[in-house]
Amino acid sequence: MAKRILVVEDNDLNRKLFCDVLKANGYEVVPVADGSNVVATAKKFTPHLVIMDIQLPNISGVDLIAQLKRDAAMAEVPVLAVTAYAGKGDEERIREAGAADYLAKPVSITPFMAKVRGLIAD
CA of residue 85 relative to chain centroid, distance:
15
Q: pLDDT averaged over consecutive 10-residue blocks of the chain (122 residues)?
A: 95 96 98 93 96 93 96 96 82 94 93 97 66
Q: Where do the domains of the chain lie? A: 33-119
Spatial distance between the Cα atoms of 109 and 5, rounded to a whole number of angstroms:
16
Partner residues linked to 79 by β-bridges: 50
DSSP state of 107: P
Q: What is the pLDDT of residue 90?
A: 86
Q: What is the pLDDT of residue 122?
A: 56
- Helices (H) then strands (E): counts for the chain: 5, 5
- The CATH number of 33-119, from 3.40.50.720, 3.30.450.20, 1.10.1070.11, 3.40.50.2300, is 3.40.50.2300
Q: What is the pLDDT of residue 87?
A: 75
Q: What is the pTM for the complete model shown? A: 0.95
